[in-house]
Structure formats: C-alpha cells, structure tokens
C-alpha cells in the first residue's frame, strides 16, 4: 500500500518536472504545485492533482518533495503565508531537494520539528539529463531513522541515495561538489580553448584529455566545446542543462560557507567571479558550460 500513498511535489521547473514524472511512472499518486500554473498543466493530463498553494499540498499529502531555485524560495514555500508548515500534518516527511544555504536547511528543519513534521535536505547532482533518466545522486541530511522512508521515494528518481549526516550535511556535500564542478568546467574550457588556438582539432584534443590525467566529468561527459559531443548543451547553443545563474548562486553559497568556516577557497572564489561576470554579460540563461564561449570572447581574461 505504501506506493499508493500520495506524494506531494512542489516546484516543477527544469529539474522538478522530470523528477515528479518519475514518481508518476513508479505508480505514486502525485499532488503538485508550482508558482507558474502552466507548469502543472502537463501533470493534470497525467492524472496528478493540482493544488492552489504549498499549504494545500500539505493538507493532502504527508510526504512532500520540494525542488526550488534558492533559499528565499524555500523559506517562502515552507514558512510563508500559504506555506507547507501552515497545514502540515504531524509525522509528515518533508524532503527538500533544492540547493540552498545549509543554515537555511537547519532553520527549516527546526520550524518543521515545531509542527511535529520531519524535514530532510536532499539536494541532487546529475543535471536535467539524469533527472529524466532517473539517475540522479541524492545527498541526504537529517534524522537517520527517517532515511529509509526518504530513500523509498528518492530511489524512484535517482540511482545513488547517500546519507550524509544531520540536516545541512546534504547541502554541504552539494555545494562542495558544485564548487569543484565549476572549477573543472572552467579548467576544461581554458584547456580546450588554448589547444584550439594552438591548432589542435577539438575532438582530437578532447580524446587525448580523456585518455590522460586531465580527464574529468566536464571533459568526458559534458564537454563545453560545440561539435565535440552530441546530446549536451554545447551542441545546442548552450540551451537546457544547468543554468549559469544557478551555478553562480551555488558558488555564492560555497563562498558564504567558506567565510563562516574560515576556509581558503581561492579557485572557488575566482570561479564565482567568472560566473557572476557571465551573468552580467548575457549568459545568465545559458548552460554553465557556456564559460567556453565566454572565454573565447573575453580576450582580457
């Protein structure tokens, strides 16, 4: 009967849409909400219930997953005037897959605890392609006794579900991963750009990098150079994927955490500045691998 228990899903954007669809595919009745009503239309056609607010979702489901753009959005959805915690049932399991400040996750967990609900942070890695394929990696923070209950749902959307520790540790793992991803993407873009200017064929250079010590996810799975790989944003004018704005946001979270813990992150800081410059120069809605195009144009860098 567990699979017949409704699951609430709030936030049907680039990542939330395929994640919620995978719950539907696994036989869960899904109750959805998004601030943009048009995002819900397709779920209505799939037989999902569409609600008017996060509070309405909490009234109808005692297991809710949220996938939101930033810390302010998460606060509004959980603690706002029509937020989840206004009508949440005691014992409800609330799983937030947004990437937000670990301190905000802890704050929301405390607020949820005061209502008798359980909050876990479970940010994801893998991007839109992995969300569609159900191959995401979830990094989960929260009460360990609740991990198996969360895992039942998360394995419908991901192939790796890892328990990280108390609330906030999932976010910590995610922002460390994304800081490294940003640095490696910039490094890949720089190396590819230099090689091309030295007369190397980009496909050949990528092949060499991927059989050598410079190989990384950014070079062998998500190459930023147009024409090197198919099925990645660089092959589609950097459309889709993981937006530059979101990468800049995640790097900002890493900077805040680094400041709070007095941790030196010189390359993370430089990556943050590069992605912020990209946002200011018209790349905000492009995939973050567009840093290759940005570097091609910014001779001064």
Q: Is 151 a catalytic residue?
A: no
Domain ranges within the chain, ordered by starting residue = 7-166, 172-295
What values do phi and psi take at 66, rounded to 5? -120, 140
Mean pLDDT of all residues in 124-131: 89
Please state at what angle helix 102-114 crosses helix 169-197, rounded to 10 degrees: 150
**Cα dist from 209 to 2, 219, 289, whole Å:** 47, 7, 17
Question: What's the CATH number of domain 7-166, 1.10.10.10, 1.10.30.50, 3.60.15.10, 3.40.50.720?
Answer: 3.40.50.720
Mean pLDDT of all residues in 174-189: 97
pTM to 2 decimals?
0.90
161 neighbors 185 (Cβ within 8 angstroms): no
Mean pLDDT of all residues in 92-106: 96
Mean pLDDT of all residues in 141-146: 96
Fold for domain 172-295?
1.10.1040
Which pLDDT value is given to residue 48?
95
Give me the chain's average pLDDT, please.
95
Residue whose C-alpha is closest to residue 286's, from 212, 233, 219: 233
Selecting among 4, 151, 174, 249, the annotated active-site residue is: 174
Distance CA 67, CA 202 (A): 36
Q: How confident is the model at residue 223 (pLDDT cuts 50, 70, 90)?
A: very high
pLDDT at 57 over 60: yes
Mean pLDDT of all residues in 249-278: 97
Which pLDDT value is given to residue 253?
96
Residue whose C-alpha is closest to residue 122's, from 156, 92, 145, 99: 99
Hey, is 69 helix, strand or coil? coil
> Tell me: the pLDDT tens digits for 4-21?
789 999 999 989 999 999
Distance CA 235, CA 233 (A): 5
């Amino acid at each position: 009967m567990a699979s017949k228990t409704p699951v609430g899903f709030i936030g049907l954007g680039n990542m939330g849409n395929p994640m919620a669809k995978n719950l539907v595919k696994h036989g869960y009745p899904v109750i959805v909400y998004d601030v943009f009503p048009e995002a819900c239309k397709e779920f209505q056609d799939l037989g999902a219930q569409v609600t008017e607010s996060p509070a309405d979702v909490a009234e109808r489901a005692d297991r809710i997953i949220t996938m939101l753009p930033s810390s302010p959005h998460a606060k509004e959805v959980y603690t706002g005037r029509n937020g989840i915690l206004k009508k949440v049932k005691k014992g409800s399991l609330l799983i937030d897959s947004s990437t937000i400040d670990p301190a905000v996750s802890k704050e929301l967990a405390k607020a949820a605890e005061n209502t008798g609900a359980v909050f876990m942070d479970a940010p994801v890695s893998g991007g839109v392609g992995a969300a569609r394929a159900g191959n995401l990696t979830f990094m989960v923070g929260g009460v360990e006794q609740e991990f198996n209950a969360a895992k039942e749902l998360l394995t419908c959307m991901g192939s790796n579900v890892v328990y990280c520790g108390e609330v906030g540790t999932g976010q910590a793992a995610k922002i460390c991963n994304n800081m490294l991803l940003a640095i490696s993407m910039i490094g890949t873009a720089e190396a590819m750009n230099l090689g091309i200017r030295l007369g190397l064929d980009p496909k050949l250079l990528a092949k060499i990098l991927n059989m050598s010590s410079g190989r990384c996810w950014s070079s062998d799975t998500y190459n930023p150079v147009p024409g090197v790989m198919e099925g990645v944003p660089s092959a589609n004018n950097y459309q889709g994927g993981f937006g530059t704005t979101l990468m800049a946001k995640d790097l900002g979270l890493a900077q805040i955490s680094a400041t709070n813990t007095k941790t030196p992150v010189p390359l993370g800081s430089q990556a943050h500045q590069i992605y912020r410059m990209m946002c200011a120069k018209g790349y905000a809605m492009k995939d973050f691998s567009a840093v290759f195009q940005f570097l091609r144009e910014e001779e001064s860098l």
